[in-house]
A and B are shown apart, each in its own frame.
Chain A
Amino acid sequence: MLKDQTMSVVFDGNPLKAMQSSHTHTAQTALSAQELSQEIKSFISGVDTVQGRKLSVREHARCAVRLLRSVPACRGAVLEHLRGVYDEHVSAFLHNLETEGDGSSGVSSNLEDIIQEVHGVLSEFIRLNPRAWAPLVSAWAVDLLGQLSSKHAGRRVAPHSSSLNELLQLWMSCAATRSLMEAYSQCLAAMLAWCPDACVDALLDTSVQHSPHFDWVVAHIGSAFPGTIISRVLACGLKDFCSHGAKDQGLLVMGADKGSRVPKIGSVVGILGHLAAHHSDSIRKELLRMFQESLTPSSPMSPTSSSTSWENSPQLRRAAVPFLLQLAAMSPNLFGAVSAELVELLRPPVLLHLQALLQGLPREELDNMLGLAVHLISQSPSGGARVLRFLADTATPASVIISGPTPSPHEGVREGCDRLLQTLLLHLHKLVFNRMDGSEVSPHHSASSQPQRVIPFLEELQSHIGELCAETLRLERKRHLWLHQLLCLLSVYGGPSVATEAFCQLLTQARNPEELALAWQLHTTLSSCIAGLIPAAVARCVAQIHTHTLGPRQLRQLLLNLAAAIQSQDEERRGAAGVQSSMAIQVGSAVSGHLHDFGPLLLHGDPAVSHAAVRLLSCSPLPRTSSPAHLLLLSRAAVTHFFLALRRRGEGGKVGRDGGQAGEAVNWSVLLLSRFAAYSPLTLKAVLQQLVEGALHKGNAELFGGQIADMSGAPVTSPSVSPDLGASLLDINCRFGTTVNFSGSVWSVFHAGVIGKGLKVRTAANLPDPSGVIQNVQTLLAVIVQCCSSSGLNGSINGSRPPSDPDEPAPINAEAAKVIAVTLVENVCPDVANGELSWPPEEHARTTVERDIHIRRCFEAHPVLFPLLQVVAAGRPALCYCSAVLRGLLATLLAHWEASRETLSTDSPWHLQASCLLVSCMGEGQLLPPVLANVHEAFPHLTPFEVRLLLLAVWEYVRGNGPMPQKFIFSSEKGLFCRDFSRDGDVARYVAPIHSVLHKNIDRLGHLCWRFQL
């Protein structure tokens, strides 16, 4: 079909001509034997034997054609003669071109019709009997084409042999060569059916003979018959390659063009390159097929392969792989076509065959091939990742490949791959670093204009960094070493952005110290060439956090890794200083610059993430300067996280396994808070304030054994529990005056219930796990104490305070205690009226009954208040600022004990405990002298009334000696504020009731007498 098309395009009306000639042949056969004999004579001599004159070229050619039609024996001679005619035409044609066709076109046009005539006859013959004529004509046409194209290659108009397309254009515009080409195509089309080999072999033999000048023919034919030509061209190239041996390879790899010494492979590359434009698919299939065929064990007489094919020669089969490599090295097009699918083909059986094949080669040749393969891989623009994975998979020792996609390969194959991989790495290393050297040196040389050499393999891998990192981190025996090396190369090659990416990936993906160590190794390698890697990486991580590109697990891992990085610094300080020191410090400083970015993660919904965040924050150094807004935000987050951690610990304790982690989280949180508090007065204040507020907050109260209190301080009944009291807002509003909460006034005592409905129902306090509560309270206290005791207020962050006695707790900072005290008062005492520090006479307490009850309720609802008070007390003179609270509580206690009709104080345990704690606190806070402060020891042994007496004495003393901070003096040797009671009034007058009570109960209190000595 193709044939017909081209024919009708190029030689219009040719079939018609053929028909005409077939009609006329009867006339020609009418030539008698005598005439034929004359014709032959004329033909041989070139002289018209009848008329005795010389034949013109045309007449001679006509005569030849007549003979061709009538005397079979003249066939060879006629064809040979026609060569001359064609050659003449080509000469005339080219000459015409060279002289720009100035009127001298007579000769060429004259011969053109003869050539058409010849062509008509030949194509008619081929059409009528392809079997007989096609081999003959094809051989002739090809040979003549080769002769013509190489003979006229040197002509001025002829383009250089390397520009196939121009050549093609030139020759196809010449009638003679075009006619030959047509005839050959026709033959080939006819012969494809039964013996394509012979035909193409002739073509290629000619191609070799007239090597570069003939390529246009092969290319043209090839694009007309891609399937046949491609495989044949390859086979032919292979044969030639085999016969030339591998000795030229080395030269070719280096790109040294040896001109005429380039064997057939150059032509093969040229031809295939030309075909690749339109038939890359067939070429790829053919190349891959060649590869596969060369490896499949040969059946001695396989019926499928054609008789002359290379598959039957073991030598050629062996040469196929080197040949393909060579081919790929010479033509990026071809290589690109194959590389993608080649890797897919390399299954274990294929590899085994390959190995068996290569074993037979001499060492030098193998080295050559290795170099070639490495060169190819490094230059391959796509599929690098797959190649790499394949190499690594195959080269990894079998024992480690447990469930790889491919079963473990043969040991020899593995070693081969190993070697290949290492050579590749070495090669890349050279490329990368030479390139850098080149670019550095370039200013001194003329090479400055030369752009940096691109390494396609690395270019492509840059987009696979994530996978590479993941692979590396799998820490498979040798594999990660290779990949790590490759990562280094990639980073150096790609510059800071790639390095950052890689480092960042490693930081995100590493799951344990060993894996993380890879990141440090990478950094160590890169630190020499890339500056500022760590800050950039951290910044990038932060960016990822902000864009939410990381999942919770990754996020957590990243935070933990960063934390581990920073902590390694501490370890070093203890142990041997390693390479990581500078890095740990760098990481630390980089992280500290982004603390506010990590802060919000403390409250991340995933406990694991928040846990990791607290760990990171707790160990990261704090920035030298930071804006207050950031600090406040951070402190709020930290405190919130603290309570969250406590809650999780409580919940986790029940579940079991997570308990440990939750506990750890609490510890980290405590550490974070204390460090943070120590950072600056602002943070200290913020932290403490929020801690106290948080502890008293509704949501957290239960953590510390508290009950949720309503406005009035009474525990709220849960809706389900409380019976409907029938109280409606309307009713209450109708009864004017009863609903208004005149807080602080005597009429507004509603806390006991709605009048007429009886007392409020107290909810049965469902106290949570007491041990948990105790633990929580302890933790809270610990954190508060730590915050308070770190002398952050004095400016030094860490290490400045000499640990004089490690067992002795550090003194509570007064300023910090004051913050707590003030916060306590703000939270517990709702009313600022009567908030002065000095105490009124006890009778005046009546005016503040409402507020006092509220305060007492608060203390009831929040058991944690007493420990907090104790802390405040320890930070003298901060307790003074709690004066209102103390007073209110004492007032309610006095009222209770006065009203109590119990026989023993122990019958109202809470009040007893509250009384004891209150007094001891005041003693600790040095609001009371030791004598008075000790009275609480006697409380449990007394009657309520006696307790009241003693408390009254306390009241009296405080009223007499107001709790004023001014009364405290800083003693530098203790590092504390102390109150010198001797400056105050005589204590004795307040001690009298104590002594009376002692006397009264001397039988039970004898052992306490010494406590009340003045």
Chain B
Amino acid sequence: MGDIRQSLLPRDVLSAAKELLYHLDIYICNLVQSGRQPPQVDSKTLELVEEFILHAPKDRNTPARRMSALQELQLLEIMCSCFQEQSRDTVRQLMFSALFSLQGNQADESRMALLSKLVSMAIAVGRVPILECAATWLQRTHRVYCVRLAQVLVDDYCSMVPGSGPTLQNIHSASPRFCCQFITAVTTLYDLTSEELTPPSELLQMIVSWIQDDPRLVLITFLNTPLSGSQPISSLEVTPLGGLVRWCVKAPLAYRRDKKLPLTNGTSESETEAGPLFSALHLSVLQVFMLLPNILNEKGLFGRLALLQMESLATLTSDLSRLLDQADKHTHTSSADTQALSQLTLDRLAQALQVAMANGALLCAREDLRAICSRLPHNNLLQLVLSGPVMYYNNIHTPPLAFSPHAAHSPIASHPPHPAHPAHAPHTPLAAHPSSHPQYPAQPFMTGMPFPFRPSH
């Protein structure tokens, strides 16, 4: 493969790239047919890719050849058809990774640029194979680069070209895997810490509608991935659940903070929309949690795999306590409003924690939860959650969510999930719960206090 360099050199940029693609295709087909395991593209080939497709400068002396935007578009078009026409999945994957696996060298920048354009274009013209490959790429790549890809896509379809949102919407049907990874990347990207890191409303709507339509979407990667434990370090999480929980919990505070900023363009509309959207999203997330026990049990992972990471929860709660502090400090005027929003946040956190714990997505001791939630202001529901569930079916003295043989028989797990509770705001019955016991005023949690509703054995 390395010997073709000499024949490529005199060609013009585009035809050299085309020819190299052609050769690459043949080379990988051969590689796969040879049956060597694992099929590995040699470094010579990778260098050729960098030189003739990505146009990374080979050395300092020769100036990098560059393609014009038109040539680049042609190349992309060729790539699209190339991947489209390649029937064998393995070859496609190998080819994709030969082209776009990050090598940690200076070609990575142009690699990322080309990849972003390719994926963007694939979305536009509906090239499923490319999206599938990209989904795999998103699983294997460091999350920083994943986030960058997601950013480009969001820019392209949600802000740059008006009216192109529906095109992006289609990826749900075109490639659920890609869609799931995209959601994970997007939730990682937008952590609601600043205005720039708040998802565009179009994107938010899109994601909510996706998940509402099919809650299992968020679990697709998890479902399809053989859990080998060989997840690349720092790649995206397996599910977007953590990110989505963060969105739902932080949203009331984040959007209220945004409201204070003088916004000129029409974000006020998105604000008004954002509240219900996040409510719906929250419900969907809770429903996804409810799906988990079956799936986990099927895989035999219940209690062994935490889909919600404790660390990210800790970060979330510390963020929350900071935000709530700020809210207390800065808003004396609309204190009632602020109070309501803060309580909503805490309610959602408590609900998410409770449901996640109950469904085996969060594996931790209540003590740990108390520790990370200790700095949060009082919330009745949270208090209840932290002090321990009324788990009449469980031994209160054992750590409730550690993996135990009883868990498989837990009533909740055996209950079939009822996703059809949309009209029912999920937190209302729970929120009403502490208000019926007004003898428990707002106060921080005290471990030594006996819990009055604890059933006595």
Interface residues of A (CB under 8 A from B): 22, 25-26, 28-29, 32-34, 36-37, 40-41, 43-44, 68-77, 79-81, 124-125, 128-129, 131-133
Contact = CB atoms under 8 A, between A and B. Distances in A.
B164 A70 contact: yes
A132 B156 CA distance: 9
A76 B164 contact: no
B159 A41 contact: no
A44 B77 contact: yes
Contacts of A133: 160
B162 A44 contact: no
Given A41-B77, A44-B73, A77-B73, A72 B124 contact: yes
Greatest chain B CB density within 10 A among A36, A37, A132 is at A37
B338 to A, nearest CB: 29
Interface stretch (B21-29, B64-72, B372-380): B64-72
Given A40-B73, A80-B70, A129-B159, A73 B121 contact: yes
Main secondary structure of the interface of B (DSSP, over half): helix
15 contacts: A32-B126, A33-B125, A37-B125, A40-B125, A41-B77, A68-B161, A70-B124, A70-B167, A72-B120, A72-B155, A72-B156, A72-B157, A73-B73, A73-B76, A79-B69
Contacts of B161: 68-72, 125
Nearest to B78: A44
Contacts of A75: 160
B160 A77 contact: no
B159 A73 contact: no
A212 B166 CA distance: 47
Main secondary structure of the interface of A (DSSP, over half): helix
Given A41-B77, A44-B73, A29 B124 contact: no
A74 B166 contact: no
A73 B68 CA distance: 14
A132 B72 contact: no
A71 B160 contact: no
Nearest to B155: A132
Contacts of A22: 162-163
B77 to A, nearest CB: 6
A44 B72 CA distance: 10
Given A36-B125, A37-B125, A71-B125, 7 more contacts: A69-B164, A70-B124, A72-B120, A72-B157, A72-B161, A74-B73, A129-B162
Contact of A71 (B68, B121, B166): B121
A131 B200 CA distance: 13
A26 B69 contact: no
B73 A29 contact: no
Interface in B125-169: 125-126, 155-157, 159-164, 166-167
B257 interface: no
Greatest chain A CB density within 10 A among B74, B156, B163 is at B163
**8 A-B pairs with least C-beta separation:** A33-B126, A72-B156, A76-B69, A77-B73, A73-B121, A80-B69, A73-B120, A25-B163
Nearest to A77: B73
A345 B206 CA distance: 60
Given A44-B77, A132-B155, A73 B70 contact: no
B77 A40 contact: yes
Given A36-B124, A36-B125, A72 B73 contact: no
A73 B166 contact: no
Contacts of B72: 76-77
Greatest chain B CB density within 10 A among A32, A34, A79, A80 is at A80
A29 B166 contact: yes
Nearest to A81: B70
A914 to B, nearest CB: 115
Nearest to B118: A73
Interface in B42-88: 68-70, 72-74, 76-77, 80
B159 to A, nearest CB: 5
B12 to A, nearest CB: 15
B117 interface: yes
Contacts of B125: 33-34, 36-37, 40, 71
B20 to A, nearest CB: 19
A26 B167 CA distance: 11
A724 to B, nearest CB: 102
Contacts of A131: 159
Given A36-B125, A79-B69, A129 B164 contact: no
B82 to A, nearest CB: 13
A30 to B, nearest CB: 9
Contacts of A77: 69-70, 72-73
A500 B120 CA distance: 86
B164 A132 contact: no
A41 B76 CA distance: 11
Interface string B153-194: 001110111111011001000000000000000000000000
B149 to A, nearest CB: 13
Nearest to B200: A129
Contacts of A81: 70
A29 B120 contact: no
A474 B424 CA distance: 97
Contacts of B162: 22, 25, 124-125, 128-129
A70 to B, nearest CB: 6
A29 B167 contact: yes
B55 to A, nearest CB: 15
Given A73-B156, A76-B73, A77-B72, A28 B163 contact: yes
Contact of B74 (A25, A34, A44, A72): A44
A127 to B, nearest CB: 10
A69 B160 CA distance: 9
Interface in B232-249: none
Contacts of A129: 159-160, 162
Contacts of A41: 77
A364 to B, nearest CB: 35
B94 to A, nearest CB: 24
Contacts of A125: 160-162
B156 A29 contact: no
Nearest to A29: B163
A471 B308 CA distance: 87
A425 B77 CA distance: 74
A148 to B, nearest CB: 17
A77 B75 CA distance: 11
A132 B159 contact: yes
B448 to A, nearest CB: 50
A107 B118 CA distance: 36
A945 to B, nearest CB: 131
Contacts of B155: 72, 132
A522 B110 CA distance: 78
A125 B162 CA distance: 7
Contacts of A132: 155, 159-160
Contacts of B69: 76-77, 79-80
Nearest to B152: A72
Nearest to B157: A72
Contacts of B159: 129, 131-132
A80 B68 contact: yes
A71 B125 CA distance: 8
Contacts of A124: 162
B217 to A, nearest CB: 21
Nearest to A136: B160
A71 B126 CA distance: 11
A1 to B, nearest CB: 14
A31 to B, nearest CB: 9
A696 B159 CA distance: 116
Nearest to B166: A29
A34 B84 CA distance: 13
A77 B68 CA distance: 8
Contacts of B170: 33
Nearest to B170: A33
B164 A72 contact: yes
Nearest to A68: B161
Contacts of B163: 22, 25-26, 28-29, 69
B69 to A, nearest CB: 3
Interface in B96-126: 117-118, 120-121, 124-126
